[in-house]
Structure 1
Amino acid sequence: MAPDNFVSDTEPYRRELLAHCYRMLGSIDDAEDVVQETYLRAWRAYGAFEGRSSVRTWLYQIATNACLTSLRHHSRRVLPSGLGGPEPDPATEPVPAPPGVSWLQPVPDAALTGDAADPASLAVAREGLRLALIASLQYLPGPQRAVLLLRDVLAFPAAEVATLLGTTTASVKSTLQRARARLREVSPSPEDITAPTEPAARSLLDQYIAAFQNSDAASLERLLSRDATLEATPFRTWFAGRSTCVPFLRQWVLGEPGDWRMLPTTANGQPAAVGYRRGRPYGVVVLTVTGDRITHVVSFQEPSLVERFGPA
């Protein structure tokens, strides 16, 4: 039986553990399941906890190993761009991905960072949740992913990571080098991304929402950068370049004025919108903003996300 102070000792770490598990798994649904499992295991073992490490470190040990176990039974979560090259013809009807594809999921900022975080800490947390980073992490084997996150995102000392994972400090350092090298291979070039709290990013989001709701392809063309990319789950078809993105949206997505209703939000530290199409929940759209343009649009056609991000 756990002591009476279990909740007060462990509850302050729930949000950051959820963020860690989300980074590990690429799914907020899976992350919530693992965090629940982590707290159940911790509650059962808390009476025997000897305090050789901090409660926080101990919880991370349980959560990380639970994530590694989960990863052994699940395939890599991807975005459409992870399944092949872009489609050059915007007149092509989008092709659903084959059965068995596990999609990356976006996450509401509020679920992981809350509303009362220190601004500096909040900025760091959001930077570690960018969709591009989460997608890139999916290319790393589970142990490399764990070491990279524990060392480079959470700044645990190498010796402590070795204890967490039941390995040696030398092994942690070697694994970290391989993980960093692999991440450089699969990650896009660093971008000057405007934070979603900045007026410029919110203005672009508001304009994007207005363009969609008004079925205004010309306005969307002005908002997108020349090399913008557009992808949408559950389709494997995606587009690179404004010259293909906009015609595709015009022909297959925008419909008539009033077909779309969108509500502003933030996801993965980026501007986002909860979408309804013809009165029905659609999902969530996440924007990457670079300078004064939108450079990447990822649309998650998953109606259950609407409730997760908040009802209208």
Structure 2
Amino acid sequence: MDERAQTQTVARAKAGDERAFAELVERHQRELHVHCYRMLGSFDEAQDLVQETFLRAWRSREGFRGGSQFRAWLYRIATNACLDFLSRHPRPRLAASSQNQTSKNQESAPLPPAAVPWLQPYPDQLLEEIPSGQAEPDAVFLAKETIELAFLAAVQYLTPRQRAMLILRDVLGWSAKETAALLGASVASVNSGLQRARLTMRTHLPPRRLDWTPSPDTGDQERAVARRYMDALQRADDAAVALVLREDAKVGHQGGSGGHRGTEPVWYEGREAIVQAWAPILHGPDAQDLRLVPTRANLQPAVATYVSAPGMSDFRAFALAVLDVEDGLVAEVTVFDSQVFAAFGLPDAL
């Protein structure tokens, strides 16, 4: 949309033309969803906050002048909507689960994404809806290091305002002055808050992600590792499972699906502990047949698991595992229950 056409569309929208307003905002819907998702960690809540953003924008449309600042105006509304939501619905304090089963002292390493019970995965197919060049700068906005689960989980340890500062400054590339204006704060307080946020992120990010700098394209390698992972599980081959895992690998199981309900998350750390934990599931007396379907989430390989009980002909949705691949091996597996299948367009049964 050229500047003249946008000016005319803005004028119609300000006059109450809902179709014109929809034309202006809908092209930004997916990137605003990703922004809210980074702030909240929840795919479902982010969807609600995008709708709240558009409602607020509609109500305040008469005060907007249009032009090149339209996208930034929407981001201001979305950020404040997320901050208001987090103020009304504060997250429970994140702490180590009493159900951990680990091979190391958990205090010596960052907690896995599973330690954030409201965290949900984000389907890659939806990220593709963001037009190339729309995000500014596009390469930073959708950099793998700022959308993968480890980053999203670490962000959840920040206060809401620190999240906003970090995401606006380090992910979206806003200036300290622009961020201060949005938050109604001074430039000095934004710089100070950003420094504290970065220190907290360094505590909760894996060492290889401390600066979340762009990594080389490893898509082919990740797909090959995911195939090895799927093959080992479907054959119930403990030795093959061990060969695809790093020695210090982690597996985390979400307690609920991105909400505050359900049991606490549980995780296993170390290749030997993981193989021992999975052995009864794969070939114990109560083992079930598995069918695994590859997909992608958070720019990482993922596997949808379906199970079939003895005597049953169909395979029912069971869990979605997001894989973190490093140096040709699985470094971490974060498991979500089947409630997330719908967002990925996955069926309830095969």
TM over 0.5: yes
In the TM superposition, 1:1-312 aligns within 5 A as 2-3=16-17, 4-51=19-66, 54-72=69-87, 73-76=89-92, 82-83=96-97, 86-88=100-102, 102-114=117-129, 117=132, 121=138, 125=142, 126-190=144-208, 198-234=219-255, 235-252=264-281, 259-278=289-308, 279-301=315-337, 303-312=338-347
Q: Which runs of 5+ in 2 are unaligned?
A: 1-14, 104-115, 256-263, 309-314
TM-score if structure 2 supplies the norm length?
Answer: 0.77
Task: Find the residue that maps to 2:120 and give its secondary structure.
Answer: coil
Q: How many residues align?
A: 298
C-alpha distance 286-36 of structure 1, shift in aligned 2 (>3 A): same
**CA–CA distance in structure 1, aligned partners of residues 306 and 55 of structure 2:** 37
**What percent identity do the matched residue pairs reach?**
39
**CA–CA distance in structure 2, aligned partners of residues 236 and 181 of structure 1:** 25
Q: Which runs of 5+ in 1 are unaligned?
A: 90-100
The code of the aligned residue for 2:90 comes to H
**CA–CA distance in structure 1, aligned partners of residues 157 and 29 of structure 2:** 26
The code of the aligned residue for 1:199 comes to D
**CA–CA distance in structure 2, aligned partners of residues 291 and 193 of structure 1:** 16
**CA–CA distance in structure 1, aligned partners of residues 93 and 326 of structure 2:** 25
Task: Find the residue that maps to 1:244 and give its secondary structure.
Answer: helix
**CA–CA distance in structure 1, aligned partners of residues 166 and 289 of structure 2:** 43
Between 39-48 and 285-294, the greater mean CA deviation after superposition? 39-48
C-alpha distance 224-105 of structure 1, shift in aligned 2 (>3 A): same
TM-score if structure 1 supplies the norm length?
Answer: 0.86
C-alpha distance 168-193 of structure 1, shift in aligned 2 (>3 A): closer
Point out the structure with max Rg over C-alpha: 2
Between 15-24 and 42-51, the greater mean CA deviation after superposition? 42-51
RMSD: 2.8
User: Residues 221 and 328 of structure 2 are in contact (CA less than 8 Å); yes or no, is this contact kept in structure 1?
Assistant: yes
CA deviation string 1:177-218 (max 9, x = no partner): 111111112222015997786211101111111222222222
